[in-house]
């Protein structure tokens, strides 16, 4: 029966008049401090034994309630409930020692009797009670504001609304989270009770107390006739359901009725005010339970006994139950992933057509399927959400799943499809092998989206829409959740702070500068926390601004940045070649402080690299603070914390640090997070996304992430930098190859983006394929083995590839040391086309991995560079320019010598020469300069010429991008 129908049915019974009780009647009652359910907020429970129709009393004719409610029997009932709850509490805290169940009481007057009663009962059990006192005439909005705070407070496990009936509006009751509604007043909890589903709901404590008192009566529960008078609120509905479930016959009336009462074995009065029943109306042995508002007094000849503690005890029992459910909810949740059906078509439609033909799951549904709690996600629309890092604390003890890295052979300028392999593999694992699996991808820069991309058929460097669902389509390649914009804002704030500080130092004397940096506010001068940190770095222990000596003041206010040695650049997420060199400070207001600088693409910012390597908000803030932005004239490094800007940077980045949850076309989960420039940074998605995913998939699941560019760059940096920062160890490397790229490395003609492929790449040519396998493919497999990780080769199949070419690649890959080599058809068939790869990865993942770093942190900088050049690239040796050698000496002097190396070189060759394909030998690797990203935590040698700001071609992609103003559909983006 629907709740509204049940409540309507309760109104259709007679409403007789109310009578005052006689004197001399023995009453057993509930004190004023009981639950405010039903029509009154100051309820009382009065259990009366009627002796006979004539009203005479005798022990023999009184109803038998076991032991009297004001005697040892009643005390035993309370004691039994308290003891049972204490045992539950002990068991709960044995498994969760830090958990302290807490009940919050919101009340709207100064009557503290209820609080004291609940505190006393809570103390017996070991619970906390907190009190929120509102004004007697508080508004609905004021109540809701407090309820919302308690909803979000993880320390509170139960909320009791001790408020006047007029304040218990539907809006108030249903604002309270059902899992914290320990009095069972919300519509959802009442509905659960009506339906008989109490796995998540709560029985109202007062209704439960009434049932316990009725159970102590000698009359059997089955078939007992109970008259319920009044009570159209949640208590009345709950009580009626409980009684009917115990086999009682429930009669309902708005007011007490002599006729109905003479039929009843028990009468429950739920209405407000004095609604008392003369003994002449009752059958002998009838139990009367009164939940009215008025306290009975001795003026009526009644004896009050505190039945209120029973209700309080049952309330505490609900709080412990709520805490237990909360604790269970914090445990790892098995997945219930629902895969989406994908119908492959031939010929394969365009990416955008495929995407729009699929209806994605709402992101909250996806989050629930993979075991995320409601409070762990922040939705950005219907199809994407940020995931909070609190997940790591909740699943701290959960074993990680298998960690799979997708890398590639040295690619053509068109790219070989590592990202498509990631998605195809994850869809095969989850949708077809039914194994928990997660993809972790970088967020693409907006610059190339509107600049240069290839076309599928000449495969592109972007992610195909076949693999990424429509919820990842336009937003994936555009703003997504704004992380790159946050990085841009943070980066440019640092740049602005640098130039402003240099200007102010150049135009003000120490005293004036000090007065502005440490101003007097309301007559008080004090250092900010970040300024105190700078004082400590300067060796100044004083924290009173007036106590610093002139020399200390000068040291404090003078960063003395050398304009020629500022290394920090501004960024923008647009390909703009004319920003590669700019001049700033030309306005007359800048007083001639002109200097040359430049813009980089936003993803080249060190802040992006920090986002990708940080393992938490605290770590990110520390890294941001230690970013070196330049050097002083005396040669000392100047950091973002010296500028006083690190706290503001953390504020700008506080949401960007949370990975973005999305899904594939087949409904598999994807984390999209961070996208550091793969040339001058490490080119991998974030540590945090991988860590969150590894916990979510469980011990038998798989997390598949991608390394930028070829294995010689992306994979090497993944192992030596990302794995060193994260502490994670990969189980399998999937090495992506294409027949096209292998033909190029076997001696085929040049491949250029936007140009038709030469015939050698379209027609079968086993000779070129074989030469490419024996050179570049073999070398990349050997590089992976340097780190002790098994390799599975994934051949990304194109429609121009012949079966003989495919078989040759797989055969030679195995002969070169790959654990397995399989063709992948995910572009045409989705996850089903990568099932063989998924099985190979599963098999390789079950084998032991003997991961090792290529070099020790203690190895000198020069030797680290040499080891990478010789063992990974195949160079004979390295050649350091004088400038590079000077930088190495400087970094060693500053204590940066133990940082890992992040080589900045071309991705188009194992060497520094893009035109050298296959496996170049006999070359010396030139190191023209060395720079440092101290915040990110690596040193990056520059090999050859490396631009950090791409330019637009003659015909950029934006010629094809448009928006339909009626349908709001985007065209030309894919």
Residues catalogued as catalytic: 418, 420, 442, 453, 678, 709, 798, 827
Task: Compute the distance between CA of residue 445 and CA of residue 449 in angstroms, rounded to an integer.
Answer: 7
Task: Compute the distance between CA of residue 291 and CA of residue 40 in angstroms, rounded to an integer.
Answer: 8
Half-sphere exposure of 818 (CA within 13 A, CB side): 29
What is the 8-class DSSP label of residue 104?
E
Q: β-pairing, 102-107 with 962-963?
A: unpaired
Q: Calculate the dihedral angle through the C-alpha atoms of 838, 843, 847, 853, rounding to the nearest 10 degrees.
A: -20
Q: β-pairing, 570-572 with 524-525?
A: unpaired
Inter-helix orientation angle 234-245/187-195, to 10°: 10
Strands (E), 147-201: 158-162
For 849, list phi and psi in degrees, rounded to 5: -105, 135
- Give the H or E element holding residue 305: none
Task: Compute the distance between CA of residue 664 and CA of residue 553 in angstroms, rounded to an integer.
Answer: 58
Candidates 293, 188, 289; CA nearest to 243 is 289
What is the 8-class DSSP label of residue 341?
P
What is the 8-class DSSP label of residue 497?
H
Inter-CA distances, 758 with 181, 206, 748, 914, Å:
70, 83, 9, 19
What is the 8-class DSSP label of residue 892?
H
Task: Compute the distance between CA of residue 795 and CA of residue 183 in angstroms, rounded to an integer.
Answer: 61
Task: Compute the distance between CA of residue 136 and CA of residue 475 in angstroms, rounded to an integer.
Answer: 50
Candidates 843, 796, 791; CA nearest to 429 is 843
Find out whether 292 and 275 touch, Cβ atoms under 8 Å. Answer: yes
Please report where in the chains the tokens 């076997």 appear, as a residue.
746
Q: Calculate the dihedral angle through the C-alpha atoms of 700, 705, 710, 714, rounding to the nearest 10 degrees.
A: -110
Contacts of 572 (CB under 8 A, 6+ apart): 488, 579, 599, 601, 602
- Cα 426 from chain centroid (whole Å): 20
Strands (E), 138-254: 158-162, 225-229, 249-253
Task: Compute the distance between CA of residue 738 and CA of residue 86 in angstroms, rounded to an integer.
Answer: 65
CB-CB neighbours of 343 under 10 Å: 8
Task: Compute the distance between CA of residue 229 and CA of residue 256 in angstroms, rounded to an integer.
Answer: 6
């Amino acid at each position: 029966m629907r709740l509204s129908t049940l409540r309507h049915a309760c109104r259709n019974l007679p409403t007789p008049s109310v009578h005052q009780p006689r004197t001399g009647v023995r009453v057993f009652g509930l004190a004023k401090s009981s639950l405010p359910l039903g029509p009154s907020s100051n309820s009382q429970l009065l259990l009366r034994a009627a002796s006979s129709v004539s009203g005479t009393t005798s022990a023999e004719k009184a109803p038998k309630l076991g032991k009297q409610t004001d005697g040892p029997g009643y005390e035993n009932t309370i004691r039994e409930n308290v003891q049972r709850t204490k045992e539950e509490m002990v068991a709960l805290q044995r498994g969760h020692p830090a958990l302290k169940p807490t009940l919050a009481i919101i009340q709207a007057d100064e009557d503290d009797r209820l609080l004291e009663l609940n505190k006393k009962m809570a103390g017996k059990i070991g619970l906390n009670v907190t009190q929120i006192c509102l004004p007697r005439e508080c508004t609905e909005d004021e109540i809701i504001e407090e309820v919302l705070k308690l909803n979000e407070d993880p320390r509170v496990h139960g909320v009791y609304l001790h408020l006047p009936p007029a304040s218990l509006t539907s809006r108030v009751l249903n604002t309270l989270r059902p899992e914290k509604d320990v009095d069972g007043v919300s519509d959802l909890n009442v509905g659960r009770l009506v339906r008989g589903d109490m796995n998540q709901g709560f029985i109202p404590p007062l209704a439960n107390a009434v049932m316990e008192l009725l159970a102590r009566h000698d009359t059997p529960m089955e078939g007992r006739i109970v008259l319920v008078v009044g009570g159209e609120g949640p208590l009345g509905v709950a009580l009626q359901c409980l009684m009917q479930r115990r086999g009682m016959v429930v009669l309902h009336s708005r007011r007490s009725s002599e006729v109905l009462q003479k039929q009843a074995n028990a009468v429950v009065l739920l209405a407000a005010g004095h609604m008392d029943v003369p003994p002449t109306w009752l059958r002998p042995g009838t139990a009367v339970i009164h939940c009215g508002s008025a306290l009975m007094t001795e003026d009526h000849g009644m004896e009050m006994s505190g039945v209120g503690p029973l209700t309080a005890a049952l309330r505490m029992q609900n709080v412990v139950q709520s805490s237990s459910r909360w604790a269970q909810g914090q445990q790892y949740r098995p997945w219930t992933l629902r895969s989406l059906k994908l119908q492959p078509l031939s010929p394969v439609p365009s990416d955008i057509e495929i995407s729009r033909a699929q209806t994605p799951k709402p992101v909250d549904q996806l989050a629930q399927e993979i075991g995320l709690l409601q409070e762990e996600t922040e939705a950005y629309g219907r199809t994407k959400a940020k995931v909070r890092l609190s997940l790591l604390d909740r699943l701290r003890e959960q074993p990680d799943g298998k960690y799979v890295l997708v890398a590639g052979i040295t690619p053509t300028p068109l790219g070989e499809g590592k990202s498509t392999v990631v998605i195809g593999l994850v869809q095969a694992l989850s949708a077809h092998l039914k194994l928990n699996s997660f993809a972790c991808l970088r967020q693409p820069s907006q610059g190339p989206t509107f600049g240069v991309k290839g076309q599928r058929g000449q495969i592109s460097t972007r992610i195909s829409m076949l693999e990424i669902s429509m919820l990842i389509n336009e937003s994936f390649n555009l703003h997504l959740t704004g992380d790159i914009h946050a990085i841009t804002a943070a980066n440019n704030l640092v740049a602005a702070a640098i130039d402003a500080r240099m200007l102010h130092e150049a135009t003000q004397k120490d005293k004036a500068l000090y007065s502005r940096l440490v101003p007097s506010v309301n007559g008080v001068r004090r250092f900010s926390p970040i300024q105190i940190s700078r004082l400590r770095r300067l060796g100044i222990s004083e924290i009173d601004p007036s106590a610093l000596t002139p020399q200390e003041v000068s040291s404090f206010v003078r960063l003395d940045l050398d304009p020629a040695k500022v290394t920090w650049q501004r960024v923008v997420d647009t390909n703009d070649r004319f920003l590669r060199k700019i001049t700033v400070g030309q306005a007359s207001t800048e007083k001639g402080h002109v200097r040359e600088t430049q813009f980089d693409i936003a993803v080249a910012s060190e802040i992006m690299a920090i986002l990708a390597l940080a393992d938490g908000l605290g770590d990110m803030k520390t890294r941001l603070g230690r970013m070196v932005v330049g050097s002083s004239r005396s040669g000392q490094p100047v950091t973002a914390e010296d500028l006083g800007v690190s706290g503001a940077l953390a504020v700008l980045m506080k949401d960007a640090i949370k990975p973005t949850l999305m899904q594939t076309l087949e409904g598999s989960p994807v984390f999209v997070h961070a996208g550091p420039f793969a040339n001058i940074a490490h080119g991998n998605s974030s540590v945090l996304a991988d860590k969150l995913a590894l916990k979510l998939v469980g011990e038998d699941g798989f997390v598949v992430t991608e390394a930028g560019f070829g294995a010689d760059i992306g994979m090497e940096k993944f192992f030596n930098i990302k794995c060193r920062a994260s502490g994670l160890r990969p189980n399998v490397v999937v090495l992506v190859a294409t027949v096209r790229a292998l033909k190029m490395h076997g001696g085929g003609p040049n491949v250029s983006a936007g140009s038709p492929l030469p015939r050698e790449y379209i027609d079968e040519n086993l000779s070129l394929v074989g030469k490419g396998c024996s050179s570049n493919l073999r070398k990349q497999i050997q590089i992976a083995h340097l780190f002790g990780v098994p390799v599975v080769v994934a051949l990304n199949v194109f429609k121009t590839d012949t079966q003989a070419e495919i078989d040759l690649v797989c055969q030679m890959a195995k002969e070169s040391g790959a654990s397995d080599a399989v063709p992948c058809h995910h572009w045409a068939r989705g996850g089903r086309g990568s099932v063989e790869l998924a099985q190979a990865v599963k098999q390789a993942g079950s084998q032991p991995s003997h991961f090792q770093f290529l070099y020790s942190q203690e190895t000198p900088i020069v030797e680290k560079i040499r080891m990478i050049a010789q063992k990974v690239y195949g160079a004979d040796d390295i050649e350091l320019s004088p400038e590079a050698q000077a930088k190495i000496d400087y970094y060693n002097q500053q204590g940066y010598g133990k940082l890992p190396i992040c080589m900045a070189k071309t991705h188009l060759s194992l060497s520094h020469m893009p035109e050298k394909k296959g496996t170049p030998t006999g070359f010396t690797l030139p190191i023209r300069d060395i720079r440092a990203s101290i915040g990110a935590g690596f040193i990056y040698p520059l090999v050859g010429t490396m631009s950090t700001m791409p330019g637009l071609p003659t015909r950029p992609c934006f010629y094809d991008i448009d928006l339909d103003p009626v349908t709001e559909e985007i065209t030309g983006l894919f």
